[in-house]
């Protein structure tokens, strides 16, 4: 089955939230903030694969969602970054945004990669906000949301054979018989 046009929804991963945490040690008075940063969300990346010739794989996956970043941890530990989703498409694929009808990517070169939806940035933990005026901040930054888009994926086709000739000499008849 040959599929040359697909409409899908993609969503990049959200960034993890920063953490509000304080050092709690026996002999360290007023230990101070030590909340970690949130991880970065995963992106949705489209890559050219020369072994593919149709968009059949994408017809049955209407939603593509990348992994979100983890929240920060105590002891200034950052959360894990979300994994990127790599979608393999055939050479000659055009990716358009459905809302604006603008071309996002034109994948024509072998092994070409394009980031279509960027993952959200992770939030900062409370130790970033410590200052001389506020040595123990009780707030942290939330992670950013990842991009969400509705896209249309189209495959450009090149003919392998062309039929030329004078008018009314049987080109259409030949095609209908074959």
In the predicted model, what is the mean pLDDT of the chain?
88
Residue 160 has a pLDDT of 66
Residue 121 has a pLDDT of 95
* Nearest residue to 21 via CA among 132, 127, 121: 127
**Residue 175 pLDDT > 90, yes or no?**
no
* Nearest residue to 54 via CA among 120, 2, 130, 105: 2
Q: Confidence class of residue 38 from pLDDT cuts 50, 70 and 90?
A: very high
pTM (two decimals): 0.80
**Residue 145 pLDDT > 80, yes or no?**
yes
**Residue 49 pLDDT > 80, yes or no?**
yes
- Dihedral of the alpha carbons of 123, 129, 130, 131, in degrees to the nearest 10: 160
Q: Confidence class of residue 8 from pLDDT cuts 50, 70 and 90?
A: very high
More confident residue, 39 or 4: 39
- Residues 123-132 have pLDDT tens digits of 999 988 888 8
């Amino acid at each position: 089955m040959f599929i040359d046009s697909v409409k899908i929804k993609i969503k990049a991963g959200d960034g993890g939230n920063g953490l509000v945490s304080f050092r709690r040690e026996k002999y360290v008075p007023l230990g101070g903030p030590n909340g970690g940063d949130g991880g970065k969300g995963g992106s949705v990346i489209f890559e050219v694969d020369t072994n593919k010739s149709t968009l059949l794989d994408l017809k049955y996956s209407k939603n593509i969602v990348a992994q979100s970043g983890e929240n920060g941890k105590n002891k200034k530990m950052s959360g894990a970054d979300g994994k990127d989703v790599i979608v393999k498409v055939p050479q000659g694929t055009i990716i358009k945004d459905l809302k604006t009808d603008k071309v996002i990517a034109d994948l024509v070169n072998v092994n070409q990669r394009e980031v279509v939806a960027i993952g959200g940035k992770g939030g900062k933990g409370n130790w970033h906000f410590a200052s001389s005026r506020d040595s123990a901040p009780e707030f942290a930054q939330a992670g950013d949301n990842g991009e969400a888009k509705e896209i249309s994926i189209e495959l450009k086709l090149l003919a392998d054979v062309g039929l030329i000739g004078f008018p009314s000499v049987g080109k259409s008849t030949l095609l209908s018989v074959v």
